[in-house]
Chain A
Amino acid sequence: MTVTAYERAEVLLVEDDPDDEELVLHTLLRDDVCRRVFVVRDGAEALEYLRGTGRYRDRSPICGLRMILLDLKLPLLDGHDVLAEIKTDPELRRIPVVVFTSAAMDRDRTRGYALGANSYVVKPVEFQRFTAAVHDVARYWLGLNCAPV
C-alpha cells in the first residue's frame, strides 16, 4: 500500500498482517505524526525496496527514510533475516530499525538486539496502548531522534 510516492517515504512498515497495517497507518495518520509511510508485506520485498532491486528496479533513489518498522514474523524471509541483511549492508545499516512485534519472548529480544536492532517494541494487545506505542515510537524516531546524515 503506497501512502505516498515511495521514494520519499519517511517510514518503511514491514508488516504482513493487514489488520496491524491498518491500525498502524490509522494511528500515524490520525495523530498526524507521519504521512509518508510505505508498506511492504514480506521480508524479501522489504530488501528489494531498500536496495532498488526486483520489483523496485526502476525506482529513483530513496531519500528521507528515517525508520524501518519491522515485524518479526514474516512470510518468505523472516524478520530476523531482514534485520541481519540490513545491518550487514554498508548502505543500509545506518537506517534505524525498530522491531515492532507480538513476540514477547526473551530470546527474540536478545536475538533482535544481537542482530543490531535499534529498538524493540512489543505490540500491545489493547488498542489504546497500541496506538500510544505507535505514536510514541514515531514521535521519537521522526521527531526527537536526529537522523543519520
Chain B
Amino acid sequence: MQARLAPPDTPTQDAAVPRAITLPSPVGRVRSRPGHRLRELRAPLLIACTYYPAARLGMLFQFPHTEVAPVWPASGLAVASLLVLGRRHWPALAIAAFLADLTNGTEPALSAAMAAGSTGEYLVAATLLRRADVRPDLARIRDVIVFTGLGGLVAPTVAASVGTYSLWLSDVAMTKDFPTVWASWWLADGIGVLVFGAGCLAIWSAWSSGRRPAPGRIEGIGLAILTVATAGLVFLSPTVSPSVLFPLAIWAGVRFEQLGAAGVTLAVASVATYATVHGSGRFSIGTMSPRLLPLQLYTVSYSLTALVLAAAITSRRSSDQRLRARTLELEAKNQELEAFTYTVSHDLRAPLRAIHAFSTLVTEEEGTRLSVAGARRLGTVTRNAEHMSRLIDSLLGLSHLGRQRLVRQTVDPARAARAAAGRLHLDLEVRPPELAIAAMPQCSADPVLLEQVYENLIGNAVKFTRDREVARIEVGSTAPRGDGEGPVYHVRDNGAGFDPRYAQRLFALFERLPQHADLPGIGAGLAIVARIVDRHGGTVWAEGCPGEGAMFRFTVGPPGERP
C-alpha cells in the first residue's frame, strides 16, 4: 500500500498526466533489420513512459496522510495497453511499477513484491478478457459487462492480495487492519480499470478506426465545459446531489458513444475524487475511510451508466448499418437477377428462333427430298427447340412472378376458380370432367394470381384424369388448421394420383415424375403455384396415392393480411 501512499514529506504535485492518446498500433514482428528492432522497442517504451506518470497520478489522488487511494488510474492504463498492444509487453509494466514505488520511497523488496502483484493483476485481466472475447472498442453491452466483471472485479483481487500480504509481511506499520486495506486496494484498482481502462480503450478505438462521433465539435466542447463546470459546482457544494451529473452521462453516451462516455466519466471521476479527498462535496462527510465507499460506488455507477448506454447506442447503430448494407446487397443481387433474366429472354431466344424457324422451313420446303431418317432427325431439332422455348418461357414467367407486386384484395375463391376453369375450355375435352366448385370463405389475395393458381391446379387435374371413365374435379375448402390461420383451399381429383414419397418433389421446377413422362407439360405449373402461394405467405402441399387421385391444398396466409 506504500505505493499509493504519498509519504508526508513527498510532494505529489509533480505527477504528470497520463498521455494514452498516442498508443500506436501493434508493431511488426520482423526482426532481421536493425530498424525493426528499434521499432519493437516503441510499444514497451510507450507503456513504461505512460504507466509511470499514471501511477504517480494515483498517488496524487490519495488522502493526505493515509494509505488509502480511492482510484488507481494506472491499472486501467495497464490493462488497456496489454489488451491493445499485446500481453508480451508485461515486462515494461513490471519495470515501470517497480520504479514508481521505488521513487516514491518504498524499499526495493516491497516495491518488487507490489510490482509483481500489480503486473499479475494486469496479465490476469488481459488474459481473461481475451478469453472472454471482449472487443477493445466496448461497443457491445456484453463487452461492457464482462469488462466490468473480469477486469474491474476479478482481476484486482490479485494485486490486492499480493500487495496487502507484502505490506503485512514487511515492517511498514499499517494504520488499518488487513481486510480494510485489502478492500480499499481492490476497489481502487477496480475503479481504475473501469474508469481509466474504458477511457483508454475508447480513445484508442476512436483513433484506430478513424471514426469520429457524429455530432460536431461545438457540441463536444459544450458537453466538456458543462461537465467540468457542473462537476466542479456539485463537488464544491456539500448540498447539491451528485445525481444531477447523470443526465450528462446520458448525453455523452447517446450522442458521443464510447468516447463521450469515457470522457465524462474521466472528468467526473477526477473532479469527484479530487474534491472528496480534499474535503469538499457531498461525499466528504466524516473521516476519510467512510467517504471512500460512497465515492467509489458513485464512480462505478456513473461509469457503467455512460458505458452501457454508449454500447447500446453503438449496437443499434451498427445493426442499422448492417441492415442497410444487406438491403443494398439484396438490391444489387436483384438487379443482377433482372439482368440475367433479360439476357435469357433476349439473347437465348434469338438463336433458338433461328434454329426452330430454319429447321421448320427446311422440313416444309425440302422435306420431300430428305431421307426418312433425315426428316425425323430434323423434326427432333424442331421439337427440342420448341421444348427449350417453353422452358425459357416458364423460367421467365416464374422470375416475373417473383418480382411482380402483389395486389391483395378480398377475393371470392369460387369466382376465381370458375374464371380459371373458363379459360381452360373444359368442354373441348374429349370427355369433359365433372367440375364441382363449392362455396368458399373469402380471402385476401391477388385476384389475378389466385386465378392462375386455380388454372394450374384444375388444368393439372384435367390432365391426370383423362384416362378415367368419369373424371371428377372438386374445388372447395376446409376450416383453418389453427388459430390465426386462414381456411385451407383444395383442388381434388380422382385421377392417376402419385406416390406420396414424391409429394414435395412435385413442386420443384421442371420436375416430372417418370410415370407421367408421356403426359404433356414441362413441370412448371406446380412450381408456379408454389411460388404464388409462397408470395402470399401461405403454404401448399399435396396428398395422394397412386391410382386414387390427388388433392392439392393451399393457404394464402393469415386472414386479413394486408400488403
Residues of A within 8 A of B345 (CB): 102-105
Is B386 part of the contact surface with A, judged by Cβ < 8 Å? yes
Stretch at the interface among B226-234, B284-292, B350-358, B371-379: B350-358
If A26-B361, A73-B346, A104-B396 touch, whether A125 touches B353 (CB-CB below 8 Å) is yes
Known A123-B353, A125-B349; contact A105-B342, beta-carbon cutoff 8 A: yes
Q: A127-144: which residues lie under 8 A (CB-CB) from chain B?
A: 127-128, 130
In the complex, A48 has a CB within 8 A of chain B: no
Kindly list 5 other residue pairs between chains A and B, CB separation below 8 angstroms, not including A19-B358, A23-B357, A127-B353: A20-B350, A20-B353, A105-B345, A127-B357, A127-B361
Tally of A-B Cβ pairs under 8 angstroms: 56
Distance in Å from the Cβ of B393 to the closest Cβ of chain A?
A: 8
A102-B357 CB under 8 A given contacts A125-B389, A126-B389: no
Does A17 reach chain B (CB closer than 8 Å)? yes
Which among A20, A106, A124, A125 has the greatest number of chain B C-beta atoms within 10 A? A125
CA–CA, A59 and B361, complex, Å: 36
B392 is an interface residue with CB less than 8 A from chain A: yes
Q: Which of A17, A73, A101, A126 contacts B356 (CB 8 A)?
A: A126
Query: Size range of the interface on A?
Result: 10 to 19
How far is the CB of B357 from the nearest CB of chain A, in Å?
4
The contact of A126 among B342, B358, B386, by CB within 8 Å, is B386
Contact B349 A102 (CB under 8 A): yes
In the complex, chain B residues whose CB is within 8 Å of the CB of A23: 353-354, 357
B330-360 interface bits toward A, Cβ cutoff 8 Å, 1 = contact, 0 = none: 0000000010011001100110111011101
C-alpha spacing A89/B156, complex, angstroms: 85
Question: How distant is the Cα of A95 from the Cα of B386 in the complex, in angstroms?
Answer: 35
**Interface size class, chain B:** 20 to 34
Shortest Cβ distance from B341 into A: residue: A105
Determine the main DSSP class of B at the interface with A. helix
Give the distance in Å from the alpha carbon of A123 to the alpha carbon of B341 in the complex.
16
Across-interface contacts of A123 in B (CB, < 8 A): 349-350, 353
Q: Complex: how many Å from CA A20 to CA B353?
A: 8
**Complex contact A127–B342 (CB within 8 A):** no
Q: Does B385 contact A (CB under 8 A)?
A: yes
Quick check: B346 and A130 within 8 Å, CB to CB? no
Instruction: Say yes or no: A125 contacts B361, CB within 8 Å.
Output: no
State A106–B405 Cα separation when bound (angstroms).
Answer: 12
User: Taking the nearest CB of chain B, how far is it from the CB of A53, in angstroms?
Assistant: 30
Q: Are A103 and B346 in contact (CB under 8 A)?
A: yes
B352 — which chain A residues lie within 8 A by C-beta? 125
Closest to A27 in B: B357
CB atoms of B342 and A125 under 8 A apart: no
What is the 8 Å Cβ interface bit string for chain A, positions 100-128, against chain B (1 contact, 0 not)?
01111110000000000000000111111
Q: Which B386-440 residues sit within 8 Å CB-CB of chain A?
A: 386, 389, 392-393, 396, 400
CB contacts (< 8 Å) of B354 on chain A: these are 19-20, 23
Residues B346 and A127 in contact, CB atoms below 8 Å apart: no
Asked if B385 and A125 sit within 8 Å, CB to CB, the answer is: yes
The residues of B that contact A124 with a CB separation of less than 8 Å are 353
Q: Given A20-B353, A102-B350, do A128 and B360 touch, yes or no (CB 8 Å)?
A: yes
**Cα distance A135–B179 when bound, in Å?**
104
Closest to A128 in B: B360
Please name all residues of chain A whose beta carbon is closer than 8 Å to the beta carbon of B358 when the two chains form the complex.
Answer: 19
